Structure 1
Amino acid sequence: MTFELTVFQGRVGDHNDLAIPGARRLAEAMGRLLALEPTVVGVPRPALDLNWDVELESARPELLQLQARFEDVYVRGGRPLSATSRCAASVATLPVVARHHPEACVVWFDAHADLNTPQSTRSGYLGGLALSASLGLWDSGFGSGLALTNVVLVGQRDLDPFEIELMRAHCLPHVQPGAGLADRLRAAIAGRPVYVHLDCDVLNPGIVPTDYAHEGGLSLDDLRQAMAVIAEQPVVGVEVAEYQDAWAAGEPPVSPLPLLAALAPVLGLP
């Protein structure tokens, strides 16, 4: 399967206006490295920074376009490589992945589990509900179909009580930063094909610009080691979210090339 490159430019639970241009810059860099032309989905609009339900309805038309794009890529026998701006876009992407590759596990790199529901969320943030919708824990309107047994969490360190209990009840694999990360990740994947979701806040603060900063994350070397383990199996898609264009509004843009160097093994790059 060859990669087909997508950049999502719609707003979807944005707190600020930095991830939409960040996704564009990331996709442009991916395109240059892989000689791919990105397909653009959505039109940039200012962030709303409102409750999850308002954000979801505002994003729905462009999320449907993103879902259709994923469907088209898989039907043609390709695999999606995507810069999706915010994690909340996964409410549209993951159900398509689960439908076409029910045998694959989703490896969710993130400082957060994003397993909250509309009933459990304390913040009302749409991104905190991004994974749970595809697991059928609530109805986003974009479908579900992802099995809890096909989720591997990596790097989570800011968890709500509801998420901790859910992870415990379902024995969700949780690969935390630290010694032996590669071996622990390999054991959790257990030989299955992999779909990669990378939220840049899984990394230590100060490595790349992102909305949240939580100490105790992965280094770029940790991330590259993890990607090398994933590349041992078929990779059915990669999505990168929460890469912001700059450290703060009005500051110079930041190159995504160090991040892409860490992703090289799953992208088929040296």
Structure 2
Amino acid sequence: MADHGTPGTWDLIVTPWHLDEYIPAFPIPATATAAIRPALPAGSVAARMSLLHQAAADVVTQAARPLVLSGDCPTSRAAVAALQRRHRDLAVLWLDAHGDFNTPAISTSGYLGGMALAMLTGRTPDLFDETLGLRPIPDTSVVLADARDLDPAERDSLTTSHVHRVPADPAAITSALGRLGPVPVYLHLDIDVIDGAELPGARFPSGPGPSLAQIGECLAAACASADIAAAYLACAWLPEHVNAQNSRQTITRLTAALGAGLTWPEPADG
């Protein structure tokens, strides 16, 4: 994937998976440059995810400025590991209704999707093999926006961490990114950060929250104030809703806020 030399240019990569489960209905934009569909052998969920993440990282590494559409948050491991292959230092802006800061030791459900940010900060060292070469992101380089829906132990873990907590507000995000200094930023957004009333069919709706319009403003503000080296949208709808018209419209609006042009394939006749 060549560098087009334009700051607003994105390489759109799709990983149509939720953990180790392939999502056949996941929408693939016509403007996508790659879709990650490795054949995963039988095995544990973590082992299968490791293979998926390696395949995704290999593709993301080739992208000049990757924009990943995924069905979950943990595949962020692949995106960050790929960025670290060309950036020594990296900051993370994570917009999510949840903290994703659980670990196997404190999670009440064991759900790996609720551990994604903890994975990036080195809090889950025994979950996956070391093939990605992922280096832990320091807490002080992480900005977590919104996170209104936290488990009690997860809340305690965040409180004792050095993660920067901010509301999903453009000015707050701009200020927090400014305090990190001139470092490349990985921008991660889980669609459930948006008010649940605007997200029919979300896997994990979290009730009232910022509007889609406000989240779009947050993305635009981040792009205007920081060096966004890569972006990632976790399109965490239920499989039967992920390809619905309103879901695709939400993806289109969010990518537009990032400055990405996205088009969908024409529907098949008949």
What TM-score bracket applies, with the shorter chain setting the length? Answer: 0.7 to 0.9
Q: What are the superposed Cα offsets for residues 71-112 of structure 1, whole Å, 9 maximum, x if unpaired?
A: 232xxxx01111111112123222333443344321111111
Structure 1: gaps of 5 or more residues: none
Whether the 8 Å CA contact 1:246–1:254 is kept in 2: the answer is no
Which residue of 21, 43, 46 maps to 1:56? 46
Greater fraction helix: 1
1:163 alignment partner in structure 2: 154
Which residue among 74, 91, 103 is the counterpart of 2:77?
91
- Alignment of 1:148 onto 2:139: yes
Q: 1:175 to 1:20 in 2, by over 3 A?
A: farther
Number of residue pairs matched?
Answer: 244
Instruction: Give the match's secondary structure for 1:156.
Output: strand
- Aligned counterpart for 2:11 among listed residues 4, 10, 27: 4
Measured in 1, the distance between the counterparts of 2:241 and 2:260 equals 32
What TM-score, normalized to structure 2? Answer: 0.78
- Please state how far the C-alpha of 1:219 moved relative to its aligned partner: 0.4
Most deviating of 238-247 and 158-167: 238-247
| Structure 1 position 66, deviation (Å) | 0.6
Rounded Cα–Cα distance in structure 1 between residues aligned with 2:44 and 2:78: 16
The letter for the 2-side match of 1:41 is: I
The answer as to whether partners of 2:15 and 2:56 remain within 8 angstroms in 1 is yes
**Structure 1 position 8, deviation (Å):** 0.9
Distance 1:137 1:44 in 2: 29
Which of 114, 121, 142 is the matching residue for 1:128?
Answer: 114
The equivalences for 1:1-270 within 5 A come to: 2-12=9-19, 21-22=25-26, 25=27, 27-28=28-29, 31=30, 36-42=31-37, 54-73=44-63, 78-139=64-125, 140-141=128-129, 142=132, 143-177=134-168, 181-190=169-178, 191-192=181-182, 193-208=184-199, 209-232=201-224, 233-244=226-237, 253-268=245-260
Q: Distance in 2 between matches of 1:259 and 1:265?
A: 10
Counterpart AA for 1:198 = L
SS in 2 for 1:21: coil
Q: Is the 8 A contact 2:191 2:234 kept in 1?
A: yes
Cα 1:37–1:201 shift into 2, 3 Å: closer
Q: Retained in 2: the 8 A contact 1:95–1:146?
A: no
Partners of 1:58 and 1:3 lie apart in 2 by 28
Answer whether contact 2:170 2:222 (CA < 8 A) is retained: no
SS at match of 1:222: helix
Closer, same or farther in 2 for the Cα pair 1:102/1:163, shift >3 Å?
farther
| Contact 1:246 1:253 survives alignment (8 Å) | no
Cα 1:222–1:172 change in 2 (3 A) is same
Q: What's the CA shift for 1:214?
A: 0.8
Change in CA separation of 1:246 and 1:69 when aligned onto 2, cut-off 3 Å:
closer
Write the distance in 2 (CA, Å) between the matches of 1:237 and 1:58: 24
Query: Structure 2 CA distance, aligned partners of 1:228 and 1:10?
Result: 27
| 8 Å contact kept, 1:80–1:237 | yes
CA contact (8 A) 1:99 1:145 kept: no
RMSD: 2.9
How far 1:156 moved relative to its partner? 0.6
TM-aligned CA deviation for residue 183 of structure 1: 1.4
Return closer, same or farther for 1:258/1:136 CA change in 2, 3 Å cut-off.
Answer: closer
* Deviation at residue 161 of structure 1 after TM alignment: 2.9
**Contact 1:21–1:245 (Cα < 8 Å) also in 2:** no
The Cα shift of 1:265 comes to 3.3
Question: Displacement, 1:168?
Answer: 2.1
Q: CA deviation at 1:162?
A: 3.1
User: How much identity, in percent, do the aligned residues show?
Assistant: 23
